[in-house]
Amino acid sequence: MGSIFTRTLSDGTLRYRAEIRVNRKDYPAYKESKTFSTKRIAEKWVKKREVEIENNPIKM
């Protein structure tokens, strides 16, 4: 469900874009992404959002 992509800014610093994609039958696709300064924070966000979506799919 979640993926993390590394981006290099023009000044050479790294940023991490976390993306969540959910495809369910008979529902429109849901996509959400957010950019973070560290990979660890991005991973935590993905895990947190996956649990929130799994526990409450109506609010997607």
CA distances, 60 to each of 8, 40, 43, 54, 55 (Å): 30, 24, 19, 10, 11
Instruction: Confirm if 52 and 25 have CB atoms less than 8 A apart.
Output: no
Residue 60 pLDDT > 70, yes or no? no
pLDDT tens digit string along 1-55?
799 999 999 999 999 999 999 888 887 888 999 999 999 999 999 999 999 888 8
